[in-house]
Amino acid sequence: MIAALKQDLENCINPEKAAFFPRFFKTGKGQYGEGDIFWGITVPNVRSVVKYHEKSISLEDVQFLINDPIHEVRLAAIFILVNKFTKTKDENEKKDIYEFYLDNIRGVNNWDLVDGSAAQIVGGYLFDKERSKIYELVKSNSLWEQRIAMIATFYFIRRNQFEDTFQIAEILLHHPHDLIHKAVGWMLREVGNRDIEQLETFLNQHYATMPRTMLRYAIEKFPEPVRQAYLKKG
């Protein structure tokens, strides 16, 4: 089954995108995606292949996919995990998928892989449970685990729970990498889409020391005069 899925992915290879994606995902020496390998397959094509094969793919099969050196194969693994998690009503199965994800977290090693799974699986599982795991992840030395912690709170935000988002944002407030600045700013903006007063309270405490990218992302939807005022003060 794994071989058939990978063959169908290979049939979707686009040489032009295979040349472009390594630059887009920063795979050069010293960059965040260093060494990642791309076949040049679009997300819709990966989803189409996954849809055809996912019913025949077990968690044991996903183990091989999520550790594959090819980015789009790992992306297929992510889509399969998310689909399995969101479709099942069995709490034991959800727990198994969540734990599998954490056990194989090293394969979730680029921003698209994180952003396509962290809220659904990590946030989704922890929503009605004790949430110390996201605080373990945010204190990791791994950029991707830190981003997973931040994006996981999107699940909470969508249900109007913002405390963990603000706490994780404070921990990451002075992080050196712009991928974290963007993730934090994005989640803060999502809070603001639901409760502008709570976002403004947070910003008024931190805007002066926030990285500019983080601030710009957070205030992107503000009225222009308000946005400019924050940028001038920041």
Reported as a single tens digit per residue, the pLDDT across 141-183 is 999 999 999 999 999 999 999 999 999 999 999 999 999 999 9
CB 49 within 8 A of CB 12: yes
Q: Residue 178 phi/psi, 5° resolution?
A: -70, -25
Query: pLDDT tens-digit profile of 40-88?
Result: 999 999 999 999 999 999 999 999 999 999 999 999 999 999 999 999 9
Q: Which residue matches tokens 């729970």?
A: 161
Query: pLDDT tens-digit profile of 74-133?
Result: 999 999 999 999 999 999 999 999 999 999 999 999 999 999 999 999 999 999 999 999
Counting residues of the chain whose pLDDT is more than 90, the rounded percentage is 98
Give the CA count within 13 Å in the CB-facing half-sphere of 184: 30
CB 66 within 8 A of CB 35: no
Q: Residue 160, SS3?
A: coil
**pTM reported for the whole predicted model:** 0.95
Q: Kindly state the tokens that stand for 68.
A: 């594959």
Give the pLDDT band (50/70/90) at residue 30: very high
What domains sit in the chain, N to C, each tagged with a CATH number?
Answer: 1-116 (1.25.10.90), 127-234 (1.25.10.90)
Q: 118 has which bridge partners? A: none
